[in-house]
Chain A
Amino acid sequence: MPDMKLKLKIWRQKNAKTKGSFVSYDLDNVSPDMSFLEMLDALNKRLVEAGKEPVAFDHDCREGICGSCGMYINGYPHGPVPGLTTCHLAMRYFNDGDSITIEPWRAKAFPVIKDLIVDRSAFDRIQVAGGFISVTAGAAAEANAILVSKVKSDEAFDSAICIGCGACVASCKNASAMLFVSAKISQFALLPQGKVEAKARVRAMIREMDKQGFGNCSNTGACEAQCPKQIKLTNIARLNREYYKAY
Chain B
Amino acid sequence: MNKILFSAVSKKFVMALAGLFLLLFLPVHLGINLMLLKDDPQPFNSAAHFMATFPLVKVVEILLFLTILIHVVYGITLQIQNWLSRPVRYEVSNRSETSAFSKFMIWTGGSVLIFLIIHFFNFYFIKLGLVEGDPENFYSIAWQLFTFPGYVILYWVCFILLGFHLFHALQSAFQTLGLKNDFWTPVIRGLALIYAIVLPLGFAVIPLVIWLFK
Contact = CB atoms under 8 A, between A and B. Distances in A.
Contacts of B81: 174, 215-216
Interface string B86-106: 111111111111110011010
In terms of DSSP, what is the predominant structure of the interface of chain A? mixed
What interface size band does chain B fall in?
Answer: 35 or more
Interface in A60-110: 72, 74-77, 80, 101, 103, 106-109
B85 A219 contact: no
The residue among A9, A106, A174, A233 with the most chain B CB atoms within 10 A of its own CB is A174
Interface string A104-142: 001111001000000000000000000000000000000
Contact of A219 (B90, B168, B181): B168
Interface stretch (A23-31, A33-41, A43-51, A237-245): A237-245
Contacts, number: 135
A221 B94 CA distance: 12
Nearest to A112: B88
Interface residues of A, number: 50
A238 B178 contact: yes
Given A112-B88, A225-B96, A237-B176, 12 more contacts: A11-B91, A103-B90, A106-B89, A108-B84, A108-B85, A173-B94, A174-B85, A178-B8, A206-B8, A216-B12, A234-B180, A240-B178
Contact of A173 (B9, B82, B91): B82
Interface string A211-244: 0011111111110011000000110111111111
A76 B96 contact: yes
B13 A176 contact: no
